[in-house]
Amino acid sequence: MHLPDYDDVCRAHERIAPWIHRTPILTSATFDAMTGATLFFKCENFQKAGAFKSRGAVNAVFGLDEADARRGVATHSSGNHGMALARAAACRGIDCTVVMPETAPRAKVAAVRGYGGSVVFCAPRNTARQQTLDEIVAESGANVVPPYDDARVIAGQGTCAKELLEDVEGLDMVIAPIGGGGLVAGTALSCRALSPTTRLLAAEPANADDAYRSLAAGERLVEDAPDTIADGLKASLGELNWDIVRRHVDAILLAQEAAIVEAMHLIWQRMKIIIEPSCALPLATILHHPKRFAGQRAGVILTGGNVDLDRLPWS
């Protein structure tokens, strides 16, 4: 599959507009004072299905021709992409099957089913996800919509940064979480087209640091079963995403598990909004690298708010 470009992002933005929210951008005097930066939070936790993943999923589903659409769609996901794909499929009136690890948050499993998707469980390893999905597709003939390593998905995710850069001028940097890399790759396409002097940073759990190690090594490295509270960031960096990340991401910053929980708690407490652990990575890294961000205007992508309220990490 070809590498997407900014023209693909613009086409995706037009295609998905009827089916998504243009999410708000919030500021926080408290966090500006704590960090010495001026932060602009792009709140994808308010997105349809509760996460930025709706952008890529809707773009992929509504980009199918009629013959392909009748075969339905399938994917593997720890939660947010599966939820987004199930919703997008429901909007188009087609079937959706989602392979999910047995350890996926129950709230996310319930949401996939609530949108009409069928759930198939697998062992909590990236290789098991792919193997199970391959078996399902071989039997059903469904269209695979990968959670991140896909030109249609990358282009859709790039619409988030497109909106951010259109709504906030003069950003010195943009920071987003990185797992499989679809969001960061899409963000790179929009940043380089709309604001080429804006630096792009990615935030990653120290317990799932394959992207950080890949950038340092100059080659894509994979990790099969990382253990982190940031369940949305357990996937290894995709091949298409790696090609964009290695050329356009200025740095990947790491956060320890305790710092992720601390940042999540702070956002709940100070901004009065619900975010999930994966969403807290950018603030966690900003708080622990203050000199890098002091005096800077930074766009912060809050990726999602799908959290199991019965299993909060501080309760």
Print the SS3 string covering 222-264: CCCCCCCCCHHHCCCCCHHHHHHHHHHCCEEEEECHHHHHHHH
Region 87-105: what's the mean pLDDT?
A: 95
Kindly state whether residue 309 falls inside one of the protein's structural domains. Answer: no
Residues 174 and 296 in one domain: yes
Region 176-183: what's the mean pLDDT?
A: 97
Taking the C-alpha atoms of residue 118 and residue 15, their distance in angstroms, rounded to an integer, is 25
Q: Give the model confidence (pLDDT) of 222-252 as tens digits.
A: 988 789 999 889 889 999 999 999 999 999 9
Residues 89 and 194 in one domain: no
Strand stretches in 113-260, DSSP E: 118-122, 143-144, 173-177, 199-205, 251-255
Domain count across the chain: 2
Kindly state whether residue 87 falls inside one of the protein's structural domains. Answer: yes
Last residue of one domain, picked from the residues 121, 144, 167:
144
Region 291-300: what's the mean pLDDT?
A: 97
Strand partners, 118: 97
Residues 125 and 159 in one domain: no
Residues 100 and 215 in one domain: no
Last residue of one domain, picked from the residues 144, 179, 203:
144
Residues 228 and 281 in one domain: yes
Q: Which residue has the higher pLDDT, 25 or 2?
A: 25
CA 90, chain centre distance (Å): 21
Q: Find the CATH number of the domain harbouring 201.
A: 3.40.50.1100
pLDDT at position 158 is 98
Q: Give the model confidence (pLDDT) of 153-168 as tens digits.
A: 999 999 999 999 999 9
Residues 31 and 109 in one domain: no
Residues 25 and 170 in one domain: yes
Kindly state whether residue 41 falls inside one of the protein's structural domains. Answer: yes
Contact 150, 240 (CB under 8 A): yes
Kindly state whether residue 29 falls inside one of the protein's structural domains. Answer: yes
Residues 48 and 59 in one domain: no
**Which amino acid is present at 70?**
R
Kindly state whether residue 313 falls inside one of the protein's structural domains. Answer: no
Kindly state whether residue 236 falls inside one of the protein's structural domains. Answer: yes
Residues 108 and 124 in one domain: yes
Residues 68 and 10 in one domain: no
Strand partners, 144: 74
Kindly state whether residue 42 falls inside one of the protein's structural domains. Answer: yes
pLDDT band per the 50, 70, 90 thresholds, residue 97: very high
Residue 194 lies in domain:
6-52+154-302
Going by DSSP bridges, is the β-strand pair 251-255/38-43 parallel, antiparallel, or unpaired? Answer: unpaired
Q: Give the model confidence (pLDDT) of 30-57 as tens digits.
A: 999 999 999 999 999 999 999 999 999 9
Residues 167 and 83 in one domain: no
pLDDT at position 131 is 95
φ and ψ of 148, to 5 deg:
-155, -35
Last residue of one domain, picked from the residues 88, 123, 144:
144
pLDDT of 176 over the 80 cut: yes
Region 142-153: what's the mean pLDDT?
A: 96
Kindly state whether residue 179 falls inside one of the protein's structural domains. Answer: yes
pLDDT band per the 50, 70, 90 thresholds, residue 195: very high
Taking the C-alpha atoms of residue 229 and residue 179, their distance in angstroms, rounded to an integer, is 13
Helix (H) or strand (E) holding 313: none
**Which amino acid is present at 171?**
L
Q: Give the model confidence (pLDDT) of 201-224 as tens digits.
A: 999 999 999 999 999 999 999 988
pLDDT at position 1 is 64
Q: Mean pLDDT of all residues in the chain?
A: 96
Region 12-28: what's the mean pLDDT?
A: 98
pLDDT of 315 over the 80 cut: no
Residues 218 and 292 in one domain: yes
